[in-house]
A = this chain, B = another copy of it.
Amino acid sequence: MASAQKSKPGNYFEDFHVGMEIIHATPQTLTEGDIALYRALTGNRYAQYSSAEFARAAGMAGLSIDPLHAFHVVFGKSVPDISLNAVANLGYADGRFFLPVMPGDTLNTVSEVIGIKQNSNGKTGVVWVRTRGFNQRGETVMSFVRWVMVNKFEMDNPAPDPVIPDLPDAVPASELEGYPDMRDWDAALSGSPHMFDDYAVGEKINHVDGMTVEEAEHQIATRLYQNTAKVHFDAHGQKDSRFGKRLIYGGVVISIARSLAFNGLANAGQMLAINAGSHVSPLFAGDTIYAWSEVLDKAVLSETCGALRLRLVAVKDQDPGAFAYRTDAGKYADGVLLDFDYWAAIPKR
């Protein structure tokens, strides 16, 4: 008596409809253990996520989970329902971090389908979801939109009426939340004298350092977030895939690139919003990640705190000082892994 029905097959394009709400499984309590592991796996060195004293002096409640870490956890929960049968993770938009996640907090994840459009080939479609993370008190700690290309279950199934959500190019600076006062900020301890005032729109920063990713590292990180996408873990199953090997979860690239960005942006450690993001090309074990940033915009948030809008570009096996991005034809240059646009809090002088 064999039963396949007890295992989850994941959702196909036909399973989604606009307005549908999905409560995702496996709430996760995050602890100091998660913080230590995140640091050890990504190289995170931003002072407010490394030292409880520094965090409190900066006006935070204590040592909290890096917002990007919390993002991976909330994202990870949505994978079994949203992207288990995804062909591609197409993009992020309108990501907002509202509240800190403190050790001991438990994250729950709920997604709402906000857009849907069948592709002209009839085999796949694009699904847009807004995913929200809640803590154990039911408070929304973050919200973001992502869209994925998902396989149809049967090509002959009729196409739904397309609904394409209206998404902002960027989160308006006036809507940024959750930044502390950053008044008592020790630049010797944070690792850089460069404050809000020192960065100019258009400025590009070479983060210099590189980090090679091993199979064990990305698997451990991806399991820490309880992201279960098969392509990251199953070398046997991947042998017959397009790339013939395991793909590294894109969130690993974002976190390592952000950790590398410490060297040049040490005071901009707190992510406030994700404006846009796309995984331009895949990363495999043995590849080395480098990163550079460009200041896209600046905004004053308070008397003591500003925000930088940054483009974070991760590249593979090449000098980030070449600032590789797009070719003259507008395509991404060879070796570009990630194009990520976000707001970060940074103290004013």
Q: Which B residues lie within 8 Å of A236 (CB)?
A: 210, 212, 287-288, 317-318
Whether A205 lies near B3 (C-beta < 8 A) is: yes
Q: Does A221 make an interface contact (CB < 8 A)?
A: yes
A51→B80 contact, CB < 8 A: no
Query: With an 8 A cutoff between CB atoms, is A338 at the interface?
Result: no
Most buried by B among A54, A236, A263: A236
Interchain CB contact under 8 A, A189 and B25: yes
- Quick check: A80 and B191 within 8 Å, CB to CB? yes
- Residues in B neighbouring A205, C-beta threshold 8 A: 3, 6-7
List, in ascending order, chain B residues with CB within 8 A of A106's CB. 51-54
Chain A interface SS verdict (over half):
mixed
Nearest CB of B to A265, in Å: 7
By the criterion of a CB under 8 Å from any partner CB, how many residues of chain A are at the interface?
88
Interface flag for A35 (CB, 8 Å): yes
Q: Is the CB of A23 within 8 A of B188?
A: yes
Q: Which residues of B contact A111 (CB under 8 A)?
A: none
Segment 220-238 of A: residues with Cβ below 8 Å from B: 220-221, 223-224, 226, 228, 230, 233-237
13 chain-A/chain-B pairs, Cβ below 8 angstroms: A1-B200, A7-B207, A7-B208, A25-B191, A27-B50, A41-B220, A41-B223, A42-B223, A50-B226, A52-B106, A210-B230, A214-B219, A217-B220
* Across the A-B interface, the 6 shortest Cβ-Cβ residue pairs: A33-B36, A25-B191, A216-B216, A236-B288, A27-B51, A210-B234
Known: A212-B219, A212-B246. 7 other contacts (CB 8 A): A1-B200, A8-B191, A26-B189, A32-B103, A33-B36, A210-B237, A212-B234
